[in-house]
């Protein structure tokens, strides 16, 4: 009888835990379904535990190590970026994530349009904007994890939901980055199902197999857009709802050849550079760890840009415009194009001293 009671209590506790987790997942899902990525008003306020740095990053790293931490996180952001607000609210806003971050890393904010001087971990001196450009921080927020030696352990471009963000921090904090790619770590920790749970979302504009995407010998007529997705993927479902249903996006997509691949499958593919491999092998090469990931290739098979984080209506539209207008031919960096379109090519104002609120530089839009 006693054993039966213990078993019942155990099963009840597990059911309550499962229900609690389901409620959290549903809450995150509801937020993601309703997420609006237009610029936020008023300006974003950083958490008060972000480090107020003089942007001497080698010194910041040493100070973090001296305090028993694993390194620093350099946060590239903007004051009106909806995705930055999501990072602060939905990731750093989780008590366990905040505690884990503060225990293991110092977070140092960088304004991607800023003109303040930065000494980078490798000893170079440049402005905040130049640093963001050098690190290809195309999408805000972008986070670079630097270890105790000042080496880049991981870079995340864009916003990721809490479960993925926790995994990224653990990947760095526990030193797995020294042994394996983040994709392999994620795959090992959360392998895809061994049986088919559900089909992936279909769109009429997806090209049917066989997937002969080689552009290395003969130039194509249009750019290529590859949707790397997976089965049982809520984020993929969200992408196929409002973002792909937006009328302006639909029009832009007519200028592409578009393919959908299951990033964990053995589907044969001839890649844009002529390799004959599987979709999974290609995803391994590209180190894809987030579904959906969208990668655009030009007419000769060279990668233009990728979106490998949460992307809703306005970010997706901006990226597609960047490609369709062929802006990348003269301005290869998406961030530079956004800067020119926001500020009209004007120079940034003179460098100013940083104050405690970091309100020292011009701000752009969130896309």
- What the block records as the tokens of 211 is 């997937």
How far from 308 is each of 42, 100, 191, 311, CA to CA, in Å? 27, 24, 19, 8
CA distances from 99 to 91, 135, 244, 301 (A): 11, 27, 37, 44
Weakest-pLDDT range from 78-82, 190-194, 202-206, 324-328:
190-194
pLDDT classification of 8: cutoffs 50, 70, 90 = very low
**pLDDT exceeds cutoff 70 at 43:** yes
Distance from C-alpha of 147 to C-alpha of 105, rounded to nearest angstrom: 9
| Closest CA relative to residue 302, chosen from 229, 217, 215, 226 | 215
What is the second-level CATH architecture of the domain 211-311?
3-Layer(aba) Sandwich (3.40)
pLDDT, residue 220, reads 95
257-262 and 224-229 beta bridge pairing: parallel
* Residue 20 pLDDT: 40
Compare 340 and 84 and report the one with higher pLDDT: 84
How does pLDDT run across 49-101, given as a tens digit for each residue?
999 999 999 999 999 999 999 999 999 999 889 999 999 999 999 999 999 99
pLDDT of 262 over the 70 cut: yes
User: Is residue 211 scored above 70 in pLDDT?
Assistant: yes
Give me the helix-helix angle, 182-189 and 162-173, nearest 10°: 110
Per residue in 139-176, pLDDT (tens digit) is: 999 999 999 999 999 999 999 999 999 999 999 999 99
pLDDT of the residue at 331: 86
pLDDT score of 5 more than 50: no
71: left (phi over 0), alpha (psi -120 to 50) or beta: left
Average pLDDT, the chain: 85
Is the pTM above the cut of 0.85?
A: no
Please report, for the chain, the start and end positions of each structural domain, with discontinuous segments joined by +: 57-189, 211-311
Q: Please say whether the beta carbons of 287 and 183 come within 8 A.
A: yes
pLDDT of residue 343: 56
Q: How far apart are CA 267 and CA 72, in angstroms?
A: 40
Domains 57-189 and 211-311 share a fold: yes
The distance from CA 344 to its chain's CA centroid, rounded to whole angstroms, is 27
User: What proportion of the chain, given as a percentage, has pLDDT over 90?
Assistant: 71
Q: At which residue do the structure tokens 């053995």 appear?
A: 266
The span from the CA of 174 to the CA of 105, in Å, is 12
pLDDT of residue 272: 98
Q: Is 29 helix (H, G, I), strand (E, B) or coil?
A: helix
Structure confidence at residue 321 as a pLDDT band (50, 70, 90):
very high
* Domain 57-189: CATH architecture, name and number where available: 3-Layer(aba) Sandwich (3.40)
DSSP 274: S
Residue 216 Cα to chain centre, angstroms: 28
């Amino acid at each position: 009888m006693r054993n039966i009671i213990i078993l019942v209590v155990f099963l009840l506790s597990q059911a309550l835990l499962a229900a609690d987790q389901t409620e959290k997942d549903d809450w995150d899902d509801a937020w993601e379904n309703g997420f609006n990525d237009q610029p936020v008003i008023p300006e974003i306020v950083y958490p008060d535990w972000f480090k107020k740095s003089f942007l001497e990053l080698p010194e910041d790293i040493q100070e973090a190590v001296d305090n028993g931490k694993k390194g620093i996180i350099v946060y590239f952001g903007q004051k009106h970026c909806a995705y930055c607000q999501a990072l602060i609210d939905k990731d750093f806003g989780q008590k366990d994530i905040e505690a884990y971050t503060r225990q293991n890393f110092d977070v140092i904010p960088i304004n991607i349009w800023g003109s303040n001087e930065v000494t980078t971990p490798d000893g170079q001196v440049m402005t905040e904007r130049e640093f963001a450009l050098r690190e290809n921080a195309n999408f805000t927020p972008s986070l670079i994890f630097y270890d105790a030696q000042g080496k880049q352990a991981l870079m995340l471009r864009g916003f990721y939901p809490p479960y993925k963000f926790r995994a990224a921090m653990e990947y760095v904090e526990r030193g797995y980055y020294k042994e394996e790619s983040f994709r392999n770590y994620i795959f090992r920790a959360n392998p895809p199902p061994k049986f088919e749970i559900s089909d992936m979302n279909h769109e009429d504009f997806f090209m049917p197999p066989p997937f002969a995407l080689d552009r290395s010998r003969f130039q194509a007529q249009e750019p290529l857009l590859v949707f790397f997705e997976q089965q049982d993927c809520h984020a993929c479902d969200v992408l196929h709802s409002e973002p792909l249903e937006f009328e302006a996006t639909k029009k832009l997509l007519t200028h592409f050849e578009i393919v959908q691949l299951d990033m964990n499958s053995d589907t044969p593919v001839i890649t844009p550079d002529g390799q004959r491999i599987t979709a999974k092998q290609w995803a391994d090469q590209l180190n894809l760890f987030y579904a959906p990931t969208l990668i655009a290739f030009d007419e000769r098979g060279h990668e233009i840009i990728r979106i490998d984080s949460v992307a809703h209506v306005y970010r997706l539209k901006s990226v597609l415009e960047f490609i369709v207008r062929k802006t990348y031919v003269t301005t290869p960096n998406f961030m530079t194009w956004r800067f020119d379109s926001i500020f009209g090519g004007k120079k940034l104002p003179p460098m100013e001293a940083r104050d405690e609120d970091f309100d020292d530089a011009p701000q752009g839009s969130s896309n």
